[in-house]
Structure 1
Amino acid sequence: MNRRRLLTGGTALAASATLLTTPTATARTAWAVPSRAEILPVLRRVADHWIATHTDPGDNGWANATFFSGLLALHRLTGDPRYLAYARGWAEKHAYGLRGGVTTRHADNHNAGQAYLDLYEIEPEEGKLAAIEESLRRMVLTDQPGKNDDWWWDDALHMGMPPFARLGVLRRDPRYWEKLYALYGHTKRVEGGPGLLDPGTGLWYRDKRFLPGAIVSPTGKPVVWSRGNGWVAGGHVKTLKALPRSERHTAEYRETLTRLVTALPAAQRTDGFWNVNLADAEHLPGPETSGTSFFLYGTAYAIRAGLVRRAAFLPVADRAWQGLVTTAVHPDGFLGYVQKVGDRPESSQPVTYDSTSDFGVGAFLLGGTELALLTS
């Protein structure tokens, strides 16, 4: 497979953009994707292992909320009442509340609202949305509504974009969408000076510390964090699933996700994974599950939504899935090679066969369910 490396520095990253177009060496007109009947047992095994080993469903922070987002995606696909019951018990344990209360502006604290919205759609009760709706309404209307610099790191796009998008749809109130776009625009084009998006490649820096000329890898190359870009991909997917095509910013979200997904094949490893630093294959190389799972999620959705060519990108998605299943999933359903909490490739190293985390399991369930939607 073609694994061209991103070049050094922001200018060089932009210069390499022409290389990051489509997978070529292994693209085919037809590709054998695993069937839904093959995918679902693996997803169930991983979900069931997590539930069996976590009788206490845990806190309502961003990491655990990501797990429940993935679990509820699996519930939507399977209809398994056990998954709904476990998620409902978690939400009720926290009274459908948010860390930091309704005055919080922190995107991490809003992530639980995604699962609450999922649970509301299954069993509509207004109390499930009271906290997330009040918190976002304050940001939109009453508490410094002109302040749009809250999302200063790229992870925030996954945590914060979908609740704004979904509440705007649910309440038929485009003011949520306008606030979403103002926050998003700051992250993308303003934060740190140029914004966190590298316009040449379509990839994102985690935060302003990693902009060109700042933090670099040991060999002097940029640090473009895999999971950070995974969070960006996931946020765009969930937002696009919620928004109508007619919403005036939808086209930009589609284009931005397309560019990110299109940049990924050049950095994919031959085993299907992506390294923790997309810009330097020698910087802490090795399989990593959370970023790879989110890239599977983004790629599978982009294929299904017609953003990228199916024949060209199915091999990318299939290689990612096969790598995850054969390397990261243990026989009993334990999910390994997850880089634990951090903000850069060096965080929580080494990443091993026995490294796992709730958000990594959630990302895997999201990626696998989206791939299953491509199959029969």
Structure 2
Amino acid sequence: MKHKLIFKIAVLTVLFSCLGTSKMMSQKVFKPSAIKASMLKALEWQEAHPIFALAPTDWTEGAYYTGVVRAHKATGDQVYMAALKNQGYHNNWETYTRLHHADDVAISYSYLYVDMVGGRKDFVDLKPTADFLNAHLYEPDVWKAGKDKSSMGRTILWWWCDALFMTPPVLNLYAKHTNQPKYLDEMHKFYTQTYNQLYDKEERLFARDMRFVWKGSDKDAKEPNGEKIFWSRGNGWVISGLALILDDMPKDYKHRAFYENLFKELSARIVELQPKDGLWRTSLLCPEAYDHGEVSGSGFHTFALAWGINNGLLDKETYLPAVKKAWKALEKCQHEDGRIGWVQNIGASPEPANKDSWQNFGTGAYLMAGSEMLKLQLK
């Protein structure tokens, strides 16, 4: 009897010890030191494993180094600034080549940041960025002219929702840095074109492009469960781009209310669609299509929601539980060596991911999310 009692006490001791350890481990993930360590591991792994779709100046690198910018802005750690300066220098501060394609100036977000806070004022050459933006906005273009009749709806400059992450934050920051508000007005003109073409006011989500704008009879624009097709990363591009825009947009800008209202509306919808495990599925309205979490979209959503709390646009009591749940789930997707897994590959619609799938923009999304988690100062 005595031995049985001792055994039960031992079991209970181990059980409560494990529960306590589990709770401690659960809370540790929110400690600033743990977040910083995780972010640095992600950066170090990504810098050691470069990857890009087209060139070191393409949109994938633009998204990744936007994450590095936000990491430096949140931590002040010179490791991030060194990475930013190194890539810009080796790129000769160039954009990619397609002057009328929004993707190809995303890299300039990092160049502008380095020029603003990186020290030496003669280090960054912003002429390639200026040349790109002026050509992009003011030169004639087949898309702007509405002459491309493809099924994607290439009849406006920014005809796909991803574009709202790629160029608008650059234009916004360029306007701020150079004190030329005309670029902000141009941004607003083209942004509202995309909003009017792709935003579904009923679902409060963005279609990726016109292929997924359902007109009542197009079966290809519906999921197997009958819902419209809305891509998690596509909406992640939009909502995180909005946070970047609002972060640098003048408080008194005449159209600021449009961006704040859209940000709040998207945020409310994104939280409604968050699965119980914290990570959003690649298909927002048909999560069962690929029933596993995905990091790039989830990272962008987490960044935006945490940014909204940190900047007073979102109610902390309402949104913090979703943000905490998301970060805990994101952190579990990091491999021991620092690599960020569960990232959907390059695409334009919902597709699966797996534990070992990674992309540089997924690391960028993770760094962006971590940067705002640090500012929440959770314990």
Q: TM-score range by the shorter chain?
A: 0.7 to 0.9
Residue of structure 1 equivalent to 2:19: none
Residue of structure 2 equivalent to 1:155: 162
Count the aligned residue pairs.
334
Residue of structure 2 equivalent to 1:105: 100
Question: Structure with the greater relative contact order (CA < 8 A, sep ≥ 6): 1 or 2?
Answer: 1
Shift of 1:80: 2.7
Q: 1:55 to 1:299 in 2, by over 3 A?
A: closer
Shift of 1:200: 2.3
Which residue identity is paired with 2:93? Y
Residue of structure 2 equivalent to 1:48: 44
In structure 2, which of residues 316, 321, 331 is the aligned counterpart of residue 325 of structure 1? 331
Q: Distance in 2 between matches of 1:140 and 1:48?
A: 36
Q: Deviations over 1:190-247 (max 9, x none)?
A: xxxxx21111232111011001243211222211100000000111111111111101
The two structures have a TM-score, normalised by structure 1, of 0.84
Shift of 1:167: 1.4
- 1:53-68 paired onto structure 2 within 5 Å: 53-54=49-50, 59-68=56-65
Residue of structure 2 equivalent to 1:3: none
2:51 touches 2:359 (CA, 8 Å); kept in 1? no
Unaligned runs of 5+ in 1: 1-30, 190-194
Which residue identity is paired with 1:233? I
Shift of 1:147: 4.0
Which residue identity is paired with 1:293? G
Shift of 1:86: 2.3
Q: Distance in 2 between matches of 1:32 and 1:330?
A: 17
Max Rg structure: 2
Say whether residues 1:342 and 2:347 are aligned partners. yes
In structure 2, which of residues 77, 82, 85 is the aligned counterpart of residue 80 of structure 1? 77
Shift of 1:143: 4.9
Shift of 1:35: 3.0
Shift of 1:304: 1.4
Percent identity, aligned pairs only? 28
1:33 touches 1:318 (CA, 8 Å); kept in 2? no
2:74 touches 2:372 (CA, 8 Å); kept in 1? no
- 1:1-376 paired onto structure 2 within 5 Å: 34-54=30-50, 59-100=56-97, 104-121=99-116, 122-123=118-119, 124-125=121-122, 127-141=124-138, 143=140, 147=144, 149-189=156-196, 195-212=197-214, 213=216, 214=218, 215-326=221-332, 328-346=333-351, 349=352, 351-375=353-377
Shift of 1:66: 1.0
Residue of structure 2 equivalent to 1:10: none
Shift of 1:54: 3.6
Unaligned runs of 5+ in 2: 1-26, 146-155
Q: What RMSD over aligned residues (CA atoms) do the two structures have, in Å?
A: 2.3
The two structures have a TM-score, normalised by structure 2, of 0.83
Shift of 1:325: 0.9
Which residue identity is paired with 1:171? T
Q: Distance in 2 between matches of 1:186 and 1:312?
A: 31
